[in-house]
């Protein structure tokens, strides 16, 4: 896990990638505290630190442009400006499509980052496609002055990549995020040319995600049944070494109709894999055990066993009021 809370922005540069490439000619260092905090948030905001990637090339990793440029920076920091220009030029060539927007390219070298327990350096690459209008309010001699500023929202999701120096004898670790799914082709495949480092983690994560989507969208399941199926899905992944879709269906969806089975098979068959425990731990955070009602009431349920769910929660219909109700059984309030 990458930790950047104590990181220091050692160097940074900004280029503009548009129809005409405009390269920054100056490297900046040691920004003041607020600016450094802003750049740090820009570089690492909402980045998935659990999904790791690695650079690759079909014949020779040395022919992977971004890999070569960032390794040069890690080896010789005084090449930062030159190699950042190479990165910007390569991105410009990979962005030759009318739907890819022009924007600023921030490249920063962060020091004092931690990967596990090791202190390391990180290169952050952020492509900023959109600016926003901000209000700058100042008190000048007891007179309030308001100006509109065209600026960058550091909390907005951008196309970004974070490359971690793992040492001279190891390949760098890469973390990535795209602003939208359509950007994956040009950002991940054409520009960075990276692939998932842990294929088992990746496929387990996708399988859990697609299983959850199916359960939540299936209209024939009641809310309590959906809770049960979600819990049984997690139990299946916890207890098995490999994800096999037919075994999963027989274990979780005992009474599934043939059409339902076909939908599940077609959806998650490509993700059959050796199960990754770390992917399960991530999925547990997103498997919401809630029943949402149209009265804006939410019932949080932390029961794993589906049979126990049915014992504790009873669904009924009140003919007097023409409304559904839940009856919840418990021993005492805590």
The model's pLDDT over 137-146, given as tens digits with 9 standing for 90+, comes to 888 888 888 8
Confidence check: pLDDT of 36 > 90:
yes
Lowest model confidence (mean pLDDT) among 7-16, 144-153, 290-299: 290-299
Compute the distance between CA of residue 99 and CA of residue 42 in angstroms, rounded to an integer: 23
Confidence check: pLDDT of 305 > 70:
no
Burial (CB count within 10 angstroms: exposed 0-12, middle 13-18, buried 19+), residue 288: middle
208-255 pLDDT, tens digit each: 999 999 998 988 888 888 888 888 899 999 999 999 999 999 999 988
Top pLDDT among 325 and 79 is at 79
Helix axes 277-286, 223-239, angle to 10 degrees: 160
Compute the distance between CA of residue 150 and CA of residue 131 in angstroms, rounded to an integer: 6
Once rounded to an integer, what is the mean pLDDT over residues 55-69?
A: 96
**pLDDT for the residue numbered 188:** 94
Question: Could you tell me the two tokens for 92?
Answer: 């410009």
Top pLDDT among 283 and 12 is at 12
**pLDDT for the residue numbered 307:** 59
**pLDDT for the residue numbered 53:** 94
191-206 pLDDT, tens digit each: 999 999 989 999 999 9
Three-state DSSP at 92 gives: helix
Q: What are phi and psi of 203, to 5 degrees?
A: -70, -40
* 298-300 and 290-292 beta bridge pairing: antiparallel
DSSP H helical ranges for the chain: 33-44, 65-75, 80-94, 184, 199-217, 223-239, 245-252, 258-268, 277-286, 306-312
Confidence check: pLDDT of 30 > 90:
no
Q: What is the pTM of this model?
A: 0.74
Confidence check: pLDDT of 311 > 80:
no
**pLDDT for the residue numbered 78:** 95
Query: What's the mean per-residue pLDDT of the chain?
Result: 89
pLDDT band at 63 (very low <50, low <70, confident <90, very high): very high
290-300 pLDDT, tens digit each: 777 777 787 77
């Amino acid at each position: 896990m990458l930790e950047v809370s104590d990181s220091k922005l050692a160097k940074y540069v900004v280029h503009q990638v548009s129809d005409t490439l405009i390269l920054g000619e100056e490297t900046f260092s040691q920004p003041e505290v607020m600016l450094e905090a802003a750049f740090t948030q820009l570089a690492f905001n909402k980045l998935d630190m659990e999904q790791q990637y690695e650079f690759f090339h079909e014949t020779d990793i040395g022919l992977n442009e971004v890999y070569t440029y960032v390794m040069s920076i890690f080896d010789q920091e005084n090449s930062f400006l030159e190699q950042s220009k190479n990165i910007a030029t390569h991105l410009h060539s990979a962005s030759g499509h009318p739907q890819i927007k022009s924007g600023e390219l921030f490249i920063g070298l962060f020091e004092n980052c931690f990967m596990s327990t090791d202190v390391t350096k990180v290169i952050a690459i952020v492509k900023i496609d959109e600016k926003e209008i901000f209000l700058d309010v100042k008190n000048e001699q007891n007179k309030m002055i308001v100006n509109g500023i065209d600026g960058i929202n550091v909390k907005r999701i951008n196309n970004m990549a974070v490359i971690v120096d793992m040492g001279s004898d190891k390949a760098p670790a890469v973390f990535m995020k795209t602003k939208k799914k359509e950007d994956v082709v040009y950002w991940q495949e054409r520009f960075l040319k990276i692939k998932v480092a842990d294929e088992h983690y990746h496929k387990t994560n996708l399988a859990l995600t697609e299983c959850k989507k199916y359960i939540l969208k299936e209209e024939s399941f009641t809310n309590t049944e959906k809770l049960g199926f979600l819990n049984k899905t997690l139990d299946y992944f916890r207890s098995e070494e490999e994800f096999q879709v037919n075994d999963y269906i027989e274990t979780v969806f005992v009474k599934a109709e043939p059409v339902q089975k076909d939908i599940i098979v077609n959806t998650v068959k490509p993700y059959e894999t050796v199960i990754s425990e770390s992917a399960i731990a991530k999925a547990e955070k997103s498997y919401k055990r809630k029943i949402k009602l149209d009265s804006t009431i939410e019932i949080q349920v932390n029961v794993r066993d589906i049979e126990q769910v049915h014992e504790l929660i009873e669904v009924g219909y009140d003919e007097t009021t023409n409304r559904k109700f839940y009856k919840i059984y418990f021993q005492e309030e805590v």
